[in-house]
Amino acid sequence: MKKKKIIIYAVVSASIFLLTALASAATTMSIQVRETQLRATPDYFGKIISRAVYGDQVAVEGAKGSWKKVRLKKTGRTGWLNSSALSAKEIKLLAGAKGTKGAASASELQLAGKGFNPEVEKEFKNRNRQISFFWVDKMEQIVISDAEKQKFARDGGLTLSGNGGR
């Protein structure tokens, strides 16, 4: 009977260990967009606390609607991020990119993405020289700032809450 108790005790401890592992693993998420901003409040017009780039890891500390309160692991700063910027999967960077921490720019880090990445685009361009990326590169530079969006909404009598969808 003593042996039985020991075994049950061992299995229960293992279960607790397993559940703890599940819980702690679930609170870490990765930035899946090129660049985003941690906000003081859960909306797109909240004060910017910190910048985060592709592959950065965050600890999730809370949630409100489609927003998550997170702590950016590399700086320890806390703020709100929209769920669309976050992935539950760890984003693994290529070996060459791992050394480029800290000072690395977003454009350098995105080189590390898996699968269809700049390397593939480069090879595509080599094979299809008649296809120009001029307009695609140009349109990506058109970015309307938060302040400009707010002015656009105000001037047009829109009801822009900045809460994002859902």
Partner 1 sequence: MKKIINKKTGLILSPIMLLTALCMMLLQGCEVVKTAAKVGEEAGILTSQQAAGIEKTAAAVERSQEEITPSEEYYIGRTVGAVITNKYKVYQVDRATRYINELGQTIAVHSDLPETFGGYHFLILDTDEINAFAAPGGLIFVSRGLLRCCNNEDAAAAVLAHEIGHVQHRHGLDAIQKSRITSAVTTGLLEAGKNLTYAQVAELTTIFEGSIRDITSTLINNGYSRAFERQADQAAVVMLQRCGYNPQGLVDMLRVMETRLKPGALDFAQTHPSPATRITSIRESYGAFSPVNQGLQRQERFKRALAGI
Residues 125-164 touching partner 1, rule: CB under 8 A, are 127-128, 130-136, 139-140, 142-144, 148-149, 152-153, 155-164
Of 76, 44, 46, nearest to 61 by C-alpha is: 76
Token pair 């950016």 is found at: 72
Nearer to partner 1 among residue 40 and residue 133 (C-beta): 133
Nearer to partner 1 among residue 103 and residue 139 (C-beta): 139
Q: How far is the CB of 61 from partner 1 (least distance, A)?
A: 16
Contact residue for partner 1 among 7, 40, 48, 63 (CB under 8 A): 7
Token pair 């593939």 is found at: 120
Site for partner 1 in 83-122 (CB under 8 A): 84-85, 87-96, 110, 113-121
- Alpha carbon separation from 128 to 41, 115, 118, 125, 163 (Å, rounded): 46, 19, 15, 5, 42
Nearer to partner 1 among residue 102 and residue 137 (C-beta): 137
Tokens coding 19: 């559940």
Question: Is there binding between residue 59 and partner 1 (CB under 8 A)?
Answer: no
Nearer to partner 1 among residue 76 and residue 128 (C-beta): 128
Work out whether the CA dihedral 89, 92, 98, 104 comes out positive or negative. Answer: negative
For 79-130, give the DSSP string: EEEEGGGEESS--PPPHHHHT--SS--HHHHHTT-SSSSHHHHHHHHHH-TT
Nearer to partner 1 among residue 74 and residue 143 (C-beta): 143
Site for partner 1 in 16-35 (CB under 8 A): 17-19, 21-22, 25-26, 32-34
Q: Distance between CA 64 and CA 50 in Å, rounded?
A: 19
